[in-house]
Structure 1
Amino acid sequence: MASNLPTVVIVGRPNVGKSTLFNRLVGKKLALVDDQPGVTRDRRLGEASLLGLDFQAVDTAGWEDEDVKTLSGRMRQQTMAALDGADAALFVIDARAGLSPLDEEIANWLREQEVPVIVVANKAEGRAGEGGIYESYALGLGDPVPLSAEHGEGVADLFDALRPHIEFKQPEKDEPFDPDSEEDEPLGPLKLAIVGRPNAGKSTLINRLLGEDRLLTGPEAGVTRDSIAVDWEWTDPRDGETREIKLIDTAGMRKRAKVVEKLEKLSVADARRAVDFAEVVVLLLDATQGLEHQDLKIAAMAVEEGRALMIAINKWDIAENASSLFNGIKEALGEGLAQVKGLPVFAVSAITGKGLDPMLGAAFELRETWSKRVPTAALNRWFDDAMLNNPPPAPKGKRIKLRYITQAATRPPRFVVFGTRLEMLPKSYERYLVNGIRKTFALEGVPVRVNLRSPKNPYDANKGGGGKYSGQS
Structure 2
Amino acid sequence: MSFTLAIVGRPNVGKSTLFNRLVGKRLALVDDQPGVTRDLREGEARLGDMNFTVIDTAGLEEATDESLEGRMRRLTERAVDMADVCLFLLDGRAGVTPDDQLFAEILRKRSAHVILGVNKAEGAAGAAGVIDAYSLGLGDPIPLSAEHGEGMADLAAVLMPISDEMALREDTSPEVEVDLDEEGAEETAAPRITAKRPLQIAVVGRPNAGKSTLINQILGEDRLLTGPEAGITRDSISLSLKWEGTHVRLFDTAGMRKKAKVQAKLEKLSVSDGLRAVKFAEVVVVLLDAEIPFEQQDLRIADLAEREGRAVIVAVNKWDLEREKQSKLKDLKESFERLLPQLRGAPLITVSAKTGKGLDRLHAAILKANEVWNRRIPTARLNEWLAEMIEMHPPPAPGGRRIKLRYMTQAKTRPPGFVVMCSHADKLADSYKRYLVNGLRESFDMPGTPIRLHFRSQADANPYKNKKKSTPSRLRKHLGKRPIGE
Bin of the TM-score, shorter chain as denominator length = 0.7 to 0.9
SS in 2 for 1:42: coil
Q: Which of 125, 131, 136 is the aligned partner of 1:134? A: 131
Partner of 1:109: 106
Shift of 1:254: 1.4
2:228 matches 1:225: no
Q: Which of 246, 251, 254 is the aligned partner of 1:248? A: 251
2:272 matches 1:269: yes
2:64 matches 1:84: no
The residue type paired with residue 379 of structure 2 is T
Distance in 2, Cα, partners of 1:125 & 1:386: 71
2:92 matches 1:95: yes
Answer whether contact 1:87 1:166 (CA < 8 A) is retained: no
1:370-390 CA-to-partner distances (Å, cap 9, x unmatched) read: 111112222222223223333
2:289 matches 1:286: yes
2:344 matches 1:335: no
Shift of 1:184: 5.0
Distance in 2, Cα, partners of 1:370 & 1:113: 47
1:396-411 matched pairs, under 5 angstroms: 396-411=399-414
How has the CA–CA distance of structure 1 residues 49 and 418 changed in structure 2, closer, same or farther, with 3 Å as cutoff? farther
Higher helix share goes to which structure?
Answer: 2
SS in 2 for 1:41: coil
- TM-score norm. by structure 2 comes to 0.86
Distance in 1, Cα, partners of 2:246 & 2:71: 31
Answer whether contact 2:283 2:311 (CA < 8 A) is retained: yes
Q: Which of 127, 147, 163 is the aligned partner of 1:150? A: 147
Partner of 1:448: 451
2:192 matches 1:186: yes
Q: Which of 310, 313, 316 is the aligned partner of 2:313? A: 310
Deviates more, 1:213-222 or 1:447-456: 447-456
Answer whether contact 1:416 1:452 (CA < 8 A) is retained: yes
Shift of 1:399: 4.3
1:158-177 matched pairs, under 5 angstroms: 158-167=155-164
Distance in 2, Cα, partners of 1:304 & 1:168: 50
Shift of 1:397: 3.6
SS in 1 for 2:110: coil
Distance in 1, Cα, partners of 2:164 & 2:409: 50
SS in 1 for 2:251: strand
Answer whether contact 1:6 1:87 (CA < 8 A) is retained: yes
Deviates more, 1:29-38 or 1:444-453: 444-453
Shift of 1:421: 2.7
SS in 2 for 1:217: coil
Q: Which of 185, 207, 212 is the aligned partner of 1:203? A: 212
The residue type paired with residue 252 of structure 2 is D
Distance in 1, Cα, partners of 2:453 & 2:8: 49
2:333 matches 1:324: no
The residue type paired with residue 105 of structure 2 is N
1:386-435 CA-to-partner distances (Å, cap 9, x unmatched) read: 23333333322444343322222211111222334322222222212211
Answer whether contact 2:38 2:225 (CA < 8 A) is retained: yes
Distance in 2, Cα, partners of 1:299 & 1:257: 18
Answer whether contact 2:205 2:256 (CA < 8 A) is retained: yes
Q: Which of 54, 71, 78 is the aligned partner of 1:74? A: 71
The residue type paired with residue 91 of structure 1 is F
Shift of 1:181: 7.2
Shift of 1:93: 1.2
The residue type paired with residue 353 of structure 1 is G
- TM-score norm. by structure 1 comes to 0.88
Answer whether contact 1:195 1:284 (CA < 8 A) is retained: yes
Distance in 2, Cα, partners of 1:167 & 1:265: 42
Partner of 1:468: none
The residue type paired with residue 358 of structure 2 is G
Distance in 2, Cα, partners of 1:456 & 1:144: 75
Shift of 1:246: 1.6
Answer whether contact 1:122 1:149 (CA < 8 A) is retained: yes
In structure 1, list runs of 5 or more residues that go unmatched.
236-241, 458-462, 464-473
Answer whether contact 2:423 2:459 (CA < 8 A) is retained: no
Distance in 2, Cα, partners of 1:52 & 1:395: 68
Distance in 1, Cα, partners of 2:350 & 2:23: 38
SS in 2 for 1:271: helix
How has the CA–CA distance of structure 1 residues 115 and 412 changed in structure 2, closer, same or farther, with 3 Å as cutoff? farther
How has the CA–CA distance of structure 1 residues 245 and 184 changed in structure 2, closer, same or farther, with 3 Å as cutoff? closer
How has the CA–CA distance of structure 1 residues 164 and 455 changed in structure 2, closer, same or farther, with 3 Å as cutoff? farther
Partner of 1:384: 387
Answer whether contact 1:9 1:58 (CA < 8 A) is retained: yes
Answer whether contact 1:34 1:263 (CA < 8 A) is retained: yes
SS in 2 for 1:10: strand
2:356 matches 1:364: no
Deviates more, 1:37-46 or 1:148-157: 148-157
Distance in 1, Cα, partners of 2:226 & 2:285: 19
Deviates more, 1:154-163 or 1:56-65: 154-163
Answer whether contact 1:148 1:154 (CA < 8 A) is retained: yes
How has the CA–CA distance of structure 1 residues 169 and 378 changed in structure 2, closer, same or farther, with 3 Å as cutoff? farther
Answer whether contact 1:41 1:225 (CA < 8 A) is retained: yes
2:297 matches 1:297: no
Answer whether contact 2:85 2:111 (CA < 8 A) is retained: no
How has the CA–CA distance of structure 1 residues 24 and 403 changed in structure 2, closer, same or farther, with 3 Å as cutoff? farther
SS in 1 for 2:125: coil
Answer whether contact 2:81 2:111 (CA < 8 A) is retained: no
The residue type paired with residue 281 of structure 2 is A
1:16-39 CA-to-partner distances (Å, cap 9, x unmatched) read: 111111111112211111111001
Answer whether contact 1:6 1:56 (CA < 8 A) is retained: yes
Q: Which of 43, 48, 64 is the aligned partner of 1:46? A: 43
Answer whether contact 2:118 2:141 (CA < 8 A) is retained: yes
Identity within the alignment, %: 55
SS in 2 for 1:339: helix
How has the CA–CA distance of structure 1 residues 119 and 317 changed in structure 2, closer, same or farther, with 3 Å as cutoff? same
Shift of 1:168: 6.1
1:131-177 CA-to-partner distances (Å, cap 9, x unmatched) read: 111112222222222222112222222222222222565799xxxx9
Answer whether contact 1:86 1:115 (CA < 8 A) is retained: no
Q: Please identify the structure whose Cα radius of gyration is greater.
A: 2
